[in-house]
Structure 1
Amino acid sequence: MLAVLSLELVSALSILLPLLFGLEPWSGREVPARLSILASILLLPVLLYAAWRLIRQQRRDRIEASITAGLMDTVLSTTREWLWAIGADGRFTFSSRASRELLGYEPSDLVGRPCTLIIDLADLKTARKPDARAGRAGLVLSARHRGGRRLSIEVVGRRRSEGGGGRSGFEGIARPLADCAAQSPANQEISARLDHLLTTRTLITAFQPIRDLGAGEIVGAEALTRFVSSPFRSPDQWFDEADSIGRGLELEFLALETALLAAADLPAHLYIAVNLSPAACLDPRLCDIVRDSGLKPGRIVVELTERSAVADYVRLAAALAPLRSAGLRIAIDDVGAGFSSMRHILRLSPELIKLDRTVVAGIDNDPNQRALCAAMVSFSSQIGASLVAEGIETNSELATVTELGVNTGQGYFLGRPSVLPADWSHWRQRNRSSTSGNDNCHDT
């Protein structure tokens, strides 16, 4: 349109300018000058108006497209419902950002990969429909989280045509079962147990001492949750069951509140290590719990656990930044047991690195384990982190890791977990010569 307008302006000026100077326009042509002038005058406003309308409409279209794209991006990034699409070959062709929180996968991790990555085809045969009274039209399926655990999701989908010979795929949404009105009897039983636990708060905290291996003094204590509700279940079972129905954070935060409350009875020079999942670290409630605990953030160490994968390290680092600025420290747990812990170290720059028991057990007799431990000592020193050896259970293991240069350690040989404040009160700064290495603490 602009090119046409420019051509018309040139044509009009080719008529008007010669006339202004008393010359005949378009010499050699028989078009009367007055008719040419009149046509140019009449056409120019029309063309200018048409061009203005076109430009204004294009601007409106761009604004509306931008607003629509922004709204769609907001919906896709904030809704808990995961939008997905699968091609005729069974591979993902689209995934919304909700896959991060639901399954631990970035959208880019799923696109192009088979749907069997998260759903076993055999499970489709046993898929069930929710209670019709709930007004749901989907299927309840068992899905596989990136971290390996299973979770129940409700899926609503439809067939979509891809054209070209009738090939088709599927598209739809999925939501965590916690958002569904109907649950299986087994999940209802789990939910009832959690409701009772959260109401009665029938859990306690055991603390296990962490020692400086050079001086032998106790410098910190790890908080370990113990459940006293019936029926008896191990801590791992409690947390796994809570995760399976989407209520893992509720239990994590109850355990955290209990631990920080009990930590008030620990000697003031000790730091307190608490275990949290990446999802809990992303939750804004964490800052409130730390603030309300009354403990200085400098005494708190968050040990990042592996119950769920880290979908976005930038987001996780940003969520922890205010607490770390206030003095809270980060520890990466179970280092040496898998690659994911090393990725945590590289992306989060922790203040503490905890060497897994699988590296420490029998290290006095295994040159490969000693080589790995020595490498971790050098690595942690270069990044400015303190290395903690977990699960020290013999004097030979203690002597070996100390000789290799490990800063601190914990384990049954250095002190068992205890739930008794009377034991905690004795954890004053003492050198190794005044301790036998196996305090008479009570294991629970």
Structure 2
Amino acid sequence: MGVDFGAAGVAMTRLRAALARAIAPVTPHDDLTHWRLSAFLETADEVPFETTADGTITYAGPRSVDLLGYEPADVVGQSMAVVLAPRELDRARRLLSDSLVAGSGWTKERYTYVTRDGQERELYSSALLHVGPDGEPIGFTGTLRAIDADVAALAAWQRTHARVTAAIEQQALHAVYQPIVSVTSGEVVGVEALARFTAEPVQAPDRWFREAATVGLGTALELLAVEKALDGAQHLPPGLYVSVNVSPQTLLSGRLPRLLDESLWPTSRLVLEITEHVSVDDYAELLPFVDEVRARGARVAVDDAGAGYASFRHILRLRPDYIKLDRTLVDGLDVDPAKRALAGAFVTFGHEVGATVVAEGIETEQELRAAAALGIQSAQGYHLGRPAPVDQLAGSLPRPSPPVPVPARPPQDRAAT
């Protein structure tokens, strides 16, 4: 990363070339040479460096700490590989080799570097060939330069957009299914479809969807995930419902009904979990789209109930058919009276409005029994079954177990609001 060598910088280019020629008879370790380079070039955003022909750092300006967090002593004597992102190494080696063959340097090559604390940062690199008294190349004299924040943000946006676009075009995802089990009978009543990505880079599904949303491709990626989930569901055991995640933004796009109409999966066995990773500002605008999918037979669930105020508002406005309790509320349900009280309030509310309450993240038999004691109707979690591809799911579905005893609830509790 380096210096702007546009038309306005021609004089600067010539001056730097003259400087390089002036210091050519001096070895790269000469203190006077480095003082002259630093005084001439160094700022907070632009730091000089020298390397040998094979990329070993022989000098780094004192302000290298501003760009990458390294003191000069940390990197001098080390290969450039110490500060470059691993994926950049082959390209950097080719640049050095090509520059030596051509007898020249390079201008504003953009590379990703790794700061001392492990963060990636893009910088411009520019350099002139550094020759010895005999005219033979001995290395490079150049600069690293910070990229303008707006330029860097645009470049990051473009990379993310290209990465998500490629994943969509290549359909580089598939669905896995986690069983949803009746708490009282132990029978599997449905599954939640979850996306798994095969595209690079390897990262959590939530991050793929979050990145897609930031570059305007969130709806396209969600619709692809729903399509894959419904296609795979054709091979599920009969009688199960499928729950899929959709954001309010995808509902507002108006594109979901057409996908449901074209799918072979019956909407009467479909549950739409409406997420709220982005706040809903206008429920009056959203509700007609919710009604449209309900008119096709689909049911609606609200996820992450109990995780915050927004989930309560979501429940009150959407009047869901299913209320899915957040894992943070279910964890330790058997030993935490406050969590049991809040979960019990959701159960009471569900009875009043005709909604089924589902406990997510059940990981122990004790949590399952506590859920049953509260009157929670369904549950999912690793204790009951891990997400699996559809062809592996049938063999991994939990067998019906003896009913979990459910204590009778006092009449005043059932009437409570």
**TM class by smaller structure:** 0.5 to 0.7
Deviations 1:61-119 (A, max 9, x none): xxxxxxxxxxxxxxxxxxxxxxxxxxxxxxxxxxxxxxxxxxxxxxxxxxxxxxxxxxx
- Residue of structure 1 in register with 2:401 after alignment: 432
Question: What are the residue-to-residue correspondences of 1:53-68 with 2, within 5 Å?
Answer: none
CA apart distance, 1:376: 1.1
1:306 aligned onto 2:276: yes
Inter-partner Cα distance in structure 2 for 1:320 and 1:403: 33
What is the letter of the counterpart of residue 382 of structure 1?
E
Match of 1:285 among 249, 252, 255: 255
- Residue of structure 1 in register with 2:232 after alignment: 262
1:274 aligned onto 2:244: yes
Inter-partner Cα distance in structure 2 for 1:400 and 1:228: 38
Match of 2:295 among 317, 321, 325: 325
- Residue of structure 1 in register with 2:203 after alignment: 233
- Does the 8 Å contact 1:266/1:425 carry over to 2? no
- Residue of structure 2 in register with 1:224 after alignment: 194
What is the letter of the counterpart of residue 322 of structure 1?
E
- Residue of structure 1 in register with 2:386 after alignment: 416
- Does the 8 Å contact 1:265/1:425 carry over to 2? no
Inter-partner Cα distance in structure 2 for 1:327 and 1:425: 29
Give me the TM-score of the superposition, normalised by structure 1: 0.55
What is the letter of the counterpart of residue 263 of structure 2?
S
Match of 2:220 among 209, 232, 250: 250
- Residue of structure 2 in register with 1:214 after alignment: 184
Give me the TM-score of the superposition, normalised by structure 2: 0.58
- Residue of structure 1 in register with 2:286 after alignment: 316
Inter-partner Cα distance in structure 2 for 1:401 and 1:427: 20
CA apart distance, 1:359: 0.7
Question: What are the residue-to-residue correspondences of 1:21-36 with 2, within 5 Å?
Answer: none
Inter-partner Cα distance in structure 2 for 1:224 and 1:307: 16
What is the letter of the counterpart of residue 400 of structure 2?
N
What is the letter of the counterpart of residue 288 of structure 1?
R
CA apart distance, 1:427: 4.2
Deviations 1:148-198 (A, max 9, x none): xxxxxxxxxxxxxxxxxxxxxxxxxxxxxxxxxx97111111111112111
What is the letter of the counterpart of residue 358 of structure 2?
V
What is the letter of the counterpart of residue 261 of structure 2?
R
Deviations 1:367-400 (A, max 9, x none): 1111111111111101110000000000110111
- Does the 8 Å contact 1:212/1:408 carry over to 2? yes
- Residue of structure 1 in register with 2:356 after alignment: 386
CA apart distance, 1:424: 3.2
Inter-partner Cα distance in structure 2 for 1:426 and 1:364: 26
CA apart distance, 1:322: 2.4
Inter-partner Cα distance in structure 2 for 1:372 and 1:321: 29
- 1:292/1:425 Cα in 2 relative to 1: closer, same or farther (>3 Å)? farther
- 1:425/1:317 Cα in 2 relative to 1: closer, same or farther (>3 Å)? farther
Partner SS for 1:266: coil
Inter-partner Cα distance in structure 2 for 1:277 and 1:425: 32
Computing the radius of gyration from Cα coordinates, the structure with the larger value is: 1
Superposition misfits of 4+ residues, deviation over 6 angstroms: none
Partner SS for 1:184: helix
What is the letter of the counterpart of residue 361 of structure 1?
D
Inter-partner Cα distance in structure 2 for 1:346 and 1:420: 34
Unaligned runs of 5+ in 1: 1-181, 435-444
What is the letter of the counterpart of residue 184 of structure 2?
G
Structure with more relative contact order (C-alpha pairs < 8 Å, separation 6 or more): 2
Inter-partner Cα distance in structure 1 for 2:284 and 2:354: 21
1:192 aligned onto 2:168: no
Inter-partner Cα distance in structure 2 for 1:186 and 1:431: 50
